[in-house]
Amino acid sequence: KKMPEVKSIISKDSKAKADILINAGDKIHFGNLFLE
């Protein structure tokens, strides 16, 4: 990988490949912020 510190995120329901798989309602944390 060219940028090992970067991760891909996608819904488990999508059936796609990613570093991190999430479900509805999961929080995605980055720094002191998050998405819900």
Q: pLDDT per residue over 1-36, tens digit each?
A: 688 888 999 999 999 999 999 999 999 998 999 999
| pLDDT of amino acid 1 | 62
| pLDDT of amino acid 12 | 97
Tabulate helix, strand, coil % of the chain (nearest 5): 10, 35, 60
Model pTM above 0.95: no
Are 7 and 19 contacting, i.e. CB atoms less than 8 angstroms apart?
yes
| pLDDT of amino acid 26 | 97
The neighbouring-strand residues paired with 34 are 29
| pLDDT of amino acid 32 | 96
